Amino acid sequence: MNTTPLAAEEINPLVPHVAEIILGLVVFLILLYLIKKFVAPNFEKAFTERTAAIEGGMKEAADAQAEAKAALEKYQAQLAEARHEAASIREEAREQGAQIVAEMREQAQAEASRITSTAHTQIEAEKTAAVQQLRAEMGAVATDLAGRIVGESLEDDARQRRTVDRFIEDLESAQTSGSAS
């Protein structure tokens, strides 16, 4: 019995058979062809769509950022214009206030002048009335006194008036000469 040839025919589990290698290589090539024909284009298409979406999103974001920047600049311009307008309104109000104060001051001075003038006129009228009343009373007293001194009645109005006027003139001239010295 020959045991050596059997040992040579034994299959080594570490070395694959040539038929298995060829079959595995053919199946691998078929699988590679199918992946390249059907799967890879779908991946490529998805990758392209994804790239386009990302680029589109970036473009939209850049557009939105530019739009926001333009809106911000417009808002700042409007804000500056509003501040300028508010400052001009404040200045106009200040000027109107000063004008109103000046007008009120002018009206108050005019009213004060009118009141002073009216008061002076009234005082002058009252002074004139008081002097006339005083002259009349003094004339009556002087006439009565003169009638007692002279011993005759000075009932005649014309004579009484002349006597009173002469007496008052004498008094006034005596006062002016007395105050001058």
pLDDT, mean of each 10-residue run, the chain (181 residues) = 54 83 96 94 93 91 92 94 94 93 93 92 89 78 73 66 78 77 60
**How many residues in the chain?**
181
Looking at residue 15, what DSSP letter applies?
Answer: S
In a domain, 43, yes or no: yes
Q: What is the spatial distance between Cα 3 and Cα 146, in angstroms, rounded to a whole number?
A: 200
For residue 23, tell me if it sits in a domain: yes
The two tokens of residue 62 are 């850049």
Return the pLDDT at 135.
76
Instruction: Assess if residue 42 is contained within a domain.
Output: yes
Contact 154, 163 (CB under 8 A): yes
Q: Is residue 91 part of a domain?
A: no
Asked if residue 94 belongs to a domain, the reply is: no
Domain count, the chain: 1
pLDDT score, position 8 = 54
List own/partner pairs for 146-151 with CB under 8 A and 24 or more apart: none
Residue at 11 is within a domain: no
Torsion (CA) 74, 78, 81, 85 in degrees, nearest 10: 170
Query: CA 170 to CA 22: how far, in whole Å?
Result: 169
Q: H helices within 35-156, ranges in order?
A: 40-150
Distance in angstroms (rounded) separating the CA atoms of residues 181 and 176: 9
Query: Is residue 145 included in any domain, yes or no?
Result: no
Domain region containing 50: 18-55
- For the beta carbon of residue 143, count every other beta carbon within 10 angstroms: 21
Task: Specify if 32 maps to a domain.
Answer: yes
**What pLDDT does 7 receive?**
52
